[in-house]
Amino acid sequence: MESNQSNVWESIRNLKKSATDKKIAGVCGGLGEHTPMPSWLWRAVFLSLTFLWGTGLVAYIALWICMPVADDQPDSKQKVNSTP
């Protein structure tokens, strides 16, 4: 159980807005990259929560402010490995 909790916290710690899969701010794209749910499903969840209770918009804006932006360039390790 400890390893499952550490994996969840590690995923949350690594959560970043997507630089490539974004419609507004990249929040749903980032959630789609770091969870098993695709980004279109995250968009549907936020939209549904917005229309049903109004909490989706508040949560989206909070994540927009709190989530760091992902680097749009690959890591230096990937650059080194990709050169012949």
Q: Give tens-digit pLDDT for 53-80.
A: 889 999 999 999 999 988 865 554 444 4
How sure is the predictor about 3, in pLDDT bands with cuts at 50, 70 and 90?
low
Question: What's the whole-model pTM score?
Answer: 0.71
Burial 50-75 (b: 16+ CB within 10 A, else e): eeeeeebeeebeebeeebeebeeeee
Q: What tokens were used for 55?
A: 């909490």
d(CA 69, CA 79): 20
> CB neighbours of 29 closer than 8 A, spacing ≥ 6?
17, 18, 20, 21, 22, 23, 39
